[in-house]
A and B are shown apart, each in its own frame.
Chain A
Amino acid sequence: MSAVFVAAGVGKHYASQRASSIRSLLGRGGRSDGKWVLRGVDAEVAPGEVLGVIGRNGAGKSTLLKIAAGVTAPTEGTVRRPDRIAPLIEVGAGFHPELSGRENVYVNGRLLGLGAREIAARFDEIVEFSGLSEMIDESVRSYSSGMYMRLGFSVAIHTDPELLIVDEVLAVGDLPFQAKCLDRISELREGGAGILFVSHNLTAVLNLADRAMLLERGDVRAAGDPYDVVGAYHDLLATAPRVGPLGEDAPPSGELRFGAVRVLDEDGNEPMLFRPGQRAHLEIDVSATTDTPEGLVGIRIVKEGTGLVAGWRADEGPYVPSLRAGEQVTLVFELDLNLSEGGYAVEAAIARRDWSVLMEHRHRVAHIGVASRPGTAGIADVAPSLTIRTR
């Protein structure tokens, strides 16, 4: 079967506000300034396939979804979309608060491509799914925002879509409803629907996506296996801003050099993502370029947007022994990654024992990706558990 969604060389240019003159209204002139929010994007979703799109805010993810949904046209490139699309973006956006649930289901269903008879035939199923049978004849104005979304979701996934477009979707409704939606989505997927979804939840991307794509400033930075793409995303995030010197900010003398670096789990594998709280082994090969004195080791863990997360200097030893030129040692750190989801950069340095001269210093010798633990927030993971004692 051919792909349900194809984007080839897609670019989207937004004219600047200044350009919205009468002249540009007529379609000429005034378009030289502005911004490309997407450029040269190739993407494809096969039937039954899930493509996860990740990237930082402003990377162009939403624009890609809008182009896929057909609500905005690409400035360049071509897009092939199926006729029936379920845009699970702001579900219920087309609802009118003054109309009843029933009327809104009818209007929304028609606008999403169902015929009048098709809606009549599956009306009961839609309402049943939403769990709103008792309120269906009341105006949507009286619905809570959760009910609103449940109804919108219900209509959208009962339209026999060939492509589902999902934006952080499972923030919809309560847990039982989310589970129901996931079931329905996997049903549709088994039936051959493709899914294009954007998420900041990397764990969800790893669990659900067959393939993933990383967008950064409108470019595709990585595409393919979700693990590789999530890794590339962590690399991107780990290019964290400098948070000040580890010792002095003088450039290192270069007497020592960092070589290969390995971030391993307990079994000696290099996982793409660590579980929060997992113990990591960080191995850094060090070689001497000349005869060196004893060295004092320090590392820091830095997170983009947050800055310094943890720092440690091995003041109590062990020390890097004095080495002859060409000799090699390996630093082995063991760390408990009590960290929340995200990409972390590891900064490392070796200085003289009195920390007077840095012999080697790298802001980013390694990156460590940590998966999310459902329900957590903040930068630290305190391995929470809960028991409820009854009397």
Chain B
Amino acid sequence: MTATERSLPRRVAASIVRKPSWRHNLGLVGVLASKNIKLRYKRTSLGIAWAIAQPLVQATVLTVVFSRVFGTAGVEHFGLYVLSGVMPFSATSSGFQSATVSVVENAGLLKKVALPRLIFPVSAVIGGLVPFGAALAVLLAITTLEGALSIDVLLLVPGVLLVVTLATSAGILGAALYVRMRDIRFLIESGMLLLFYASAVFYVPERLGGLADWLRLNPMMGVLTVFRAAVTDRPIDWTALTYTLGLTVILLAVGLTVFRRRADDFADLV
């Protein structure tokens, strides 16, 4: 009887991941995240200053374009409205996308060292917090300049937590799928573009009339409403937020399940 003819037994092997030590694993996430950040600004002459410069340029362009060219759509602080949409959107989107490719991009490490696999997508999202934090600093500065600063800015804290959780949850699922199906990357890129236009980033949802309710199927709406409540006087859209929270929990559960089931085979597939 040849080896291939024997039937497959049930998996009895213990997981290859060493006994969990949260402190150790968090340390590894920190190491990888700071490596990502260092790499991001390596060989640039401005270095980490780009983290501030980039959102500044973005804010200036968007404010000029939307207040001078398209008009303000009757919204006070329209520049703030647009920025508080663009910034969390791009943070979520880039966190999600870099987490998705993180496992494959770390193939060299993965094939050599026994590391808990989850540290790759998690550190990819955490590493993105530096540019996001810088962008929020710019946002805060503009809010202050515009005289729109209020106690509501504290909402930025749960807002950031929501961005991290959503990007991580989606990224874990994305990473588990991307190892096997490289098409995922392009699907996600196209999907995020679609979501961008369905997210009322540079228009107010009310302009869509009855269609506005459909926008809430887009989980990004729940993220954006928190940031907008923080820096403009728009109230939180609790329906959208609840939906987004629910979806995040589901994504996290599904993502972790698929990821855990596949993690032991990553080294053979990347």
Judging by beta carbons under 8 Å apart, are B113 and A31 in contact?
Answer: no
Is B268 within 8 A of A72, CB to CB?
Answer: yes
Q: What does the 1/0 interface line of A23-36 toward B look like (CB < 8 Å)?
A: 00111000111111
Contact residues in B for A13 (Cβ distance below 8 Å): 8
A74: interface (CB < 8 Å): yes
Which residues from A are CB-within-8-Å of B234?
none
**For residues 29 through 68 of chain B, which have their beta carbon under 8 Å from a beta carbon of chain A?**
31-32, 35, 38-39, 42-43
B16 touches A99 (CB 8 A): no
Q: Contact at A71–B111, with CB atoms within 8 Å?
A: yes
Q: Is the CB of A93 within 8 A of B112?
A: yes
In angstroms, Cα B268 to Cα A73, docked, is 10
A73 CB contact (under 8 Å) in B16, B18, B35:
B16
Q: A72-B267, A98-B43, A110-B31 are in contact. Are A32 and B8 (CB under 8 A)?
A: yes
- Inter-chain contact A103/B110, CB cutoff 8 Å: no
Cα(A77)–Cα(B11), bound, Å: 8
Interface assignment of B108: CB less than 8 Å from any CB of chain A = yes
A69 at the interface (CB under 8 A from B): yes
Q: Give which listed residue, B9, B18, B32, B177, contacts A76 with CB less than 8 A.
A: B9
Whether the pair B13, A74 counts as a contact (CB closer than 8 A) is yes
A73 to B15, Cβ gap below 8 A? yes
Decide: A78 near B113, CB < 8 A? Known: A98-B39, A110-B27, A217-B3: no
Inter-chain residue pair count (beta carbon < 8 A) = 115
Question: In the bound complex, do residue A77 and residue B12 qualify as a contact, i.e. CB atoms below 8 Å apart?
Answer: yes
Say whether A256 faces chain B, with CB atoms less than 8 Å apart.
Answer: no
A94 an interface residue at 8 Å Cβ cutoff?
yes
Q: Does A39 contact B (CB under 8 A)?
A: yes
- Interface hit among B79-87, B212-220, B257-265: B257-265
Give A32 to B113 CA distance when docked, in angstroms.
Answer: 29
* A275 CB-CB contact with B under 8 Å: no
Query: Are the CB atoms of B110 and A71 closer together than 8 Å?
Result: yes
Q: Which of A27, A74, A94, A217 contacts B109 (CB 8 A)?
A: A94
Segment of A81-89, A203-211, A280-288, A300-308 in the binding face: A81-89
| Chain B interface main SS type | loop
CB-based contact B180/A78 at 8 Å: no
| Cβ contacts under 8 Å, B42 to chain A | 98-99, 139
In chain B, positions 96-116 with a C-beta closer than 8 Å to chain A are 108-115
B15's nearest neighbour on chain A, judged by CB, is A73
B-side contacts of A260, CB under 8 Å: none
Chain B residues lying within 8 Å of A217, measured Cβ to Cβ, are 3
A90 within 8 A of B: yes
- Is B6 positioned at the interface, with any CB of A under 8 Å from its CB? yes
Within the complex, the shortest CB–CB distance from B1 to chain A, in Å, comes to: 11
Q: A171 vs B180: C-alpha distance in the bound complex, in angstroms?
A: 33
Q: B265 is contacted by which of A32, A73, A98 (Cβ under 8 Å)?
A: A73
Interface residue from B6, B31, B115, B264 paired with A72 (Cβ < 8 Å): B264
Residue from A35, A74, A217 whose CB has the most chain B CB atoms within 10 Å: A74
Q: Which residues of B contact A85 (CB under 8 A)?
A: 114
Indicate which residue in A31, A71, A103, A116 contacts B38 across the interface (CB closer than 8 Å).
Answer: A103
Query: Does A79 have its Cβ within 8 Å of any Cβ on chain B?
Result: yes
Closest to B176 in A: A25
Q: Which residues of B contact A221 (CB under 8 A)?
A: none
Docked complex Cα distance between A341 and B111 (Å): 32
Whether A94 and B108, one on each chain, are in contact in the complex, defined by CB atoms closer than 8 angstroms, is yes
What's the Cα separation between A70 and B267 when bound, in Å? Answer: 10
Q: Give residues 173-202 of A contacting B (CB, 8 Å).
A: none
Q: In the complex, which residues of chain A have a beta carbon less than 8 angstroms from the beta carbon of B114?
A: 69-71, 81, 85
**A107 within 8 Å of B (CB atoms):** yes
Instruction: Give the residues in chain A near B177, CB-CB below 8 Å.
Output: 25
What are some 18 contacts across the A-B interface (CB < 8 A)? A25-B181, A32-B7, A36-B4, A36-B6, A66-B111, A70-B18, A71-B110, A72-B268, A76-B9, A76-B11, A76-B12, A77-B13, A79-B13, A90-B108, A96-B35, A98-B42, A99-B38, A218-B3
- The 4 A-B residue pairs whose C-beta atoms are closest, nearest first, are A70-B114, A73-B264, A36-B3, A94-B109
A-B contacts besides A25-B258, A27-B261, A31-B8, 9 pairs, CB < 8 Å? A13-B8, A14-B268, A35-B3, A69-B112, A71-B110, A93-B108, A103-B38, A110-B28, A139-B42
Interface, chain B (partner A; CB < 8 A): 3-4, 6-9, 11-18, 27-28, 31-32, 35, 38-39, 42-43, 108-115, 177, 180-181, 258, 261-262, 264-265, 267-268
